[in-house]
Structure 1
Amino acid sequence: MTPFTVAVEGLATDVQLPPGDGSFPAVLIRTPYDRRRHRAELRGWARRGFAALAQDVRGRHASHGEWHPYENEAADGAATARWIRRQPWSDGRLVATGASYAAHCALALALDAPPEARPDAVIAAVPALGTAETAREPSGVERLLARAGWWAAHGDRPDSDENALDKALAADPGLLTQLPLTGLPDRLGRSLPSWPGLWQHRARGRLLAAAEHAGMPLLAVGGHHDHFTEDTVALWRRWGGPSARLLLGPWGHGLVAEPGPDAHPAHRAGLGELYVRWARRALAGDLGHGHRGAVGLGGSPLWVPADTEGEPRTQPVRLLHGSSFTADPERPVSSADLAVPTDGPPDRCVLVTAPLPRPLDVVGPAQVRLRAGARTPSADWAVRLVALTPEGVAQRLAVGVVRREEPAGREAEFTVELGRLARRLAAGTRLRLEIAGHHFPAHARNPHTGVDPVTATRLLPSRREVDAGSVALRLPVLRSRPTTTDPAEEIPR
């Protein structure tokens, strides 16, 4: 059937129905990224027997109203769900789906809408759980580059300019170094009234708390190289519905379209077909109860069950240099460059393991425990784990950042969580551990003055001391050959 566009409560909505007469289950995508981008996806769902809809959220593209990220999605999603279920082509069953912000829309409908408007199943890919979750690390450190890029592209405007920040950086490479960060809109040359308020959001976990009381099946999809990996896994773990499935591959935020350097051809999952198979079984009530799924083991062709987790093992490291270093926010360690300078005063503490005598499978959360101190009252500690392959290639494995505020010069023992790993490390690989004061521009620079990094106008160097003998790199190591699975079979079970 020819697709058509309708306005549902002023929200522009494309509808693609399956061929023939009858009533059908529906799939709803609500997005700020232009509903027209999903027309091929809608046709794919319709060919498989689903009425498929894509909608511009309030204030975006062809939809009326004002655009306020994360504020109106439950109410607008509920109005749309009610409208769908009143249509003669609807059999009343509804799947809410989406990726990134669109996944937030699906989750808001599933968890915040009145019970009669909620969907019967949810597919949430690389989900943005909320303003605070996207703006900051769990430790409170600001995710500068990702948020600046998103707000420059989409914030406070009805349309998008995907390359807005890249163009601005090409014209002014020092754009993100200028202070205060709240002045970014002026340097971009356009109004962004919501930008300063973004950083006032600190409360995390509201959707995760609601997820514990969910009443429908979930398929959570993510990538090891995505900045929302931890949120994706936490959503799956805490989901209270009858069934929760997790698919996690060696991908970035674009999933299979953005494979990591450790991806294998076996990780090219056919997500479209997998979503359809899962949705059919979810709506039919044929999914097994409980939490299951598949995780791609990067650096190998394998998929392992989602509950696979290694045992914590401390990996010996030796100091190369920098047990004392200066973290200077005027010359911060770059988040984009894996090279380590070997001349001049050290800007980080660098430690390294011996070459691995045999392949090592690491699956689960990694962390670093250390004892260190700063001679400033506020200090960020950024820890980066890099794999140095036998061929001499440096590959980023994980990054963790914490903010510490304690009396200047006092040493303390603390842990930096590095997030989840799912990686086979080849024999001969060495692991490099970098302990620095900044990870910029991925994260905002701590000015070391005790002033909020978003509003600070003055920067101070911070002298650091690391007790190299205290540094413990703990990796989740599989003790035996991993059990394998097939996501095409595991996800729809």
Structure 2
Amino acid sequence: MSSSRPVRIPAPDGTPLATDLCLPDGPGPHPTVLVRTPYDRRSHQGELAGWARHGFAALAQDVRGRHGSGGVWRPYRHERADGAGTVRWVRAQSWSDGRVLASGASYAAHCALSLTSAEDAARPDAVLAAVPALGAAETAREATGPERLAARAGWWAAHGDRPDSDPEALASALATDPALLDRLPVADLPRWLGRPLPSWPGLWRATRRDRVAGREPRTTVPLLAVGGTHDPFLADTLRLWRRWDGAPARLLLGPWGHALTAAPGTDAHRAHRVPLGPLYARWARRALDGRLGTAPRGAVALGGSPLWLPADALPGPGADVPDPAVLAFERPGGLSVLTGTRFTADPARPVRSDELTVPRHPGRPHDRCLLVGAPLPRPLDLLGEAAVRLRATADTPAADWVARLVALHPSGTAEPLATGVVRRADTPNRPADLTVPLGPLARRLAAGTRLRLEIAGHHFPAHARNPHTGEDPVDATVLHPSRRTVTSGHSALLLPVSRPLHFTDAVDPAEEICR
């Protein structure tokens, strides 16, 4: 097997882009896999060799301004043009048969997807996008408004405005200054980190969503979207697959985190240990050969079971669920309120995203509304979008409403199932009806499991604290408490309950994405 060798490919403006190339043994020409990444091309040596073993020429390229490549690193700025120049270069090589698969995970998936709107000569013939970070706006804020503080602070500290990476940069800074993320304003984070981050303010000014997905009304490029039910970009992965129109679209969704099979959830089964490399290669061959059916297909793992289900079994937002469960607050068969139908969302003491234990502070106002359900009498399969419907009141002109659903297992352990947050600007002290989407669930809960639901005003540090003044949380320096009321008789947890699922409902994920 040929080992990789370095090449330098010029970007359209002449900037040299450091690239590693691995060719298969035997005569060509070969189809090509292109991975463009800010995370160091040298970390992809094993991946390149794997593609080559399957008969693909494989390239890993540092994006502009990163590691071995020239130029200045500006996230989300140059990827379409620089990637298009690389595709043209590949197609001019004697070892290339002209067919190109653009592949990548996280930011590298953005690099791959950005090429689908390039001109014909620079457009790839297929795209493999895993846990896609679609664009700056999508990664910076939830679709409902709140800022993803901890994740963006960690990414920018590790990778932003520097040619190399320091994955432990934020953890090291927090070890020195545990209150670093508490400091205001959020816009001044570079000052607390102690190094320049000139692109940090622009991240929060990004407002254009769907920079890739849906840019073209129809596409001719087949897609494989890969994601995890524990990945923060799960909703983006599903939306990308559902909106891909005009070419075969396949979905592979497992009980994984952002690192996919390297980060299995506690609900992962040994049947979910999919060998992704051979599966990707098999799909790529069929996609490049034009042997995929046009109907969107895929496979979704049902966490907590050994089952893989067809992707279309997972209803999208707004779809009818055959047997939705409405667990009303303080109603028979619903959720019982333990504390806090009246609570205070105090940004000085926010409900924390990194703690599942509910603290007790005698003498202080409750910091959340806490509800719990009865033990499940039998296993429960959840498949589809969950949400919380609230009638609620805030005494401030701006308010975030957070809903966190937790499974209390019979073993005594607690596990987060889903979290949603929405930003509202309702009339103070006037009840408002609102819905907090919890996102998609694909999960089997064991008999005896109890559901705990928390309604709060903050989810920090995963999300920036709402100052309750109407000021942008990125720029705010003054925080005010917000007194809240949840009206039990008009509020409920909405769960996408499926009929009990069995092996007769199951599919083989490799067969399903290659049909």
TM over 0.5: yes
Aligned equivalent of 1:287: 292
CA shift, 1:313, in A, is 2.1
Give the secondary structure class of the aligned counterpart of 1:227.
Answer: coil
Residue 2 (str. 1) matches residue 8 (str. 2): no
Secondary structure of 1:208's partner? coil
2:69 to 63, 72, 75: 63
* Mapped contact 2:380–2:500 kept (Cα < 8 A): no
Match runs of 1:387-398 below 5 Å: 387-398=407-418
Q: CA deviation at 1:455?
A: 0.5
**Structure 1 range deviating more: 2-11 or 26-35:** 2-11
Equivalent residue of 1:39, what SS?
helix
Given that 1:25 and 1:92 are in contact with CA atoms closer than 8 Å, whether structure 2 keeps it comes out as yes
1:213 shift after superposition? 1.6
Q: Report the Cα distance in structure 2 between the residues aligned to 1:476 and 1:115, rounded to whole angstroms.
A: 42
Superposed CA deviations along residues 453-492 of structure 1, whole A, max 9, x for unmatched, are: 0010111111100102222111111124251111121111
Aligned residue for 2:212, secondary structure, equals helix
Q: Shift in Å at residue 343 of structure 1?
A: 4.1
1:211 CA drift (Å): 5.4
1:492 aligns with 2:514: yes
Match of 1:417 in 2: 437
Task: Mark the runs of 5 or more structure 1 residues left unpaired by the alignment.
Answer: none
Whether the 8 Å CA contact 1:334–1:441 is kept in 2: the answer is yes
Give yes or no for contact 1:327–1:438 (8 Å, CA) kept in 2. yes
- The 8 Å contact of residues 325 and 349 in structure 1, kept in 2 or not, is answered as yes
Q: Deviations over 1:38-94 (max 9, x none)?
A: 011001111110000000001111101111111111100100000000000000001
Q: Is it true that 1:465 corresponds to 2:470 in the alignment?
A: no
Question: Map of 1:15-414 to 2, 5 A cutoff?
Answer: 15-110=21-116, 112-210=117-215, 212-309=217-314, 310-311=321-322, 312-315=324-327, 316-344=334-362, 345-414=365-434
How far apart, CA to CA, are the structure 1 residues paired with 2:139 and 2:217?
21
Q: Distance in 2 between matches of 1:44 and 1:252?
A: 23
Query: Which residue identity lines up with residue 471 of structure 1 in the other structure?
Result: S
- Matched AA of 2:240: L
* Equivalent position amino acid for 2:335 in 1: V
Are the equivalent residues in 2 in contact too, given 1:211–1:235 (CA < 8 A)? no
Give the distance between the partners of 2:128 and 2:406, measured in 1 at CA: 32
- With 253-262 and 341-350 compared, the bigger mean Cα shift is at 341-350
What's the counterpart of residue 476 of structure 2?
A: 456
Answer yes or no: is the 8 Å Cα contact 1:212–1:238 preserved in 2.
Answer: no
Q: Distance in 1 between matches of 2:246 and 2:163?
A: 35
Q: Distance in 2 between matches of 1:489 and 1:467?
A: 49
SS at match of 1:162: coil
Q: Distance in 1 between matches of 2:300 and 2:78?
A: 33
Task: Output the CA distance in 2 between the equivalents of 1:247 and 1:347.
Answer: 39
1:442 to 438, 445, 462: 462
C-alpha contact 1:222 1:232 (8 A) present in aligned 2: yes
Separation in 2 of the partners of 1:80 and 1:242? 23
Distance 1:246 1:93 in 2: 22
Provide the C-alpha distance between the structure 2 equivalents of 1:211 and 1:473, rounded to a whole number of angstroms: 37
Secondary structure (helix, strand or coil) at the match of 2:401 reads: strand
RMSD: 1.0
Letter in 2 for 1:8: I
For the 8 Å contact 2:140–2:203, the answer to whether it is kept is: yes
Confirm or deny: 8 A CA contact 1:327 1:436 kept in the other structure.
yes
Residues of 1 paired with 2:245 and 2:459: CA distance?
A: 36
* Offset of residue 21 of structure 1: 2.0
- Measured in 2, the distance between the counterparts of 1:166 and 1:239 equals 38
1:275-299, Cα deviation, whole Å (9 max, x unpaired):
0000011111111111111001111
- For 2:4, give the aligned amino acid: P
| TM-score scaled by length of structure 1 | 0.98
Name the amino acid aligned to 2:229: H
**Secondary structure in 2 aligned to 1:54?**
strand
Q: Measure, in 2, the Cα distance between the counterparts of 1:125 and 1:139.
A: 23
Shift of 1:318: 1.6
Helix, strand or coil: the match of 2:496?
strand
Partners of 2:3 and 2:49 within 8 A in 1? no
How far does the alpha carbon of each residue in 1:404-457 deviate from its partner, in whole angstroms, 9 at most, with x for none? 112211110010000010000111111111000000000000011111100101
Local SS of the residue matching 1:76: helix
- Given that 2:23 and 2:57 are in contact with CA atoms closer than 8 Å, whether structure 1 keeps it comes out as yes
- The alignment of Structure 1 onto Structure 2 pairs a total of residues equal to 492
One-letter amino acid of the counterpart of residue 379, structure 1: A
Tell me the secondary structure at the aligned position of residue 99 of structure 2: strand
Is the 1:211–1:238 Cα contact (8 Å) retained in structure 2?
A: no
CA distance, structure 2, for counterparts of residue 170 and residue 215 of structure 1: 49
Separation of aligned partners in 2, 1:331 and 1:342: 13
Letter in 2 for 1:386: V
Greater mean deviation of Cα atoms: 300-309 or 92-101: 300-309
The 1-side partners of 2:415 and 2:458 are apart by 19
Alpha-carbon distance in 1 for matches of 2:29, 2:49: 17
Do 1:211 and 1:239's aligned partners in 2 also have CA atoms closer than 8 Å?
no
8 Å CA contact retained: 1:385, 1:396 = yes
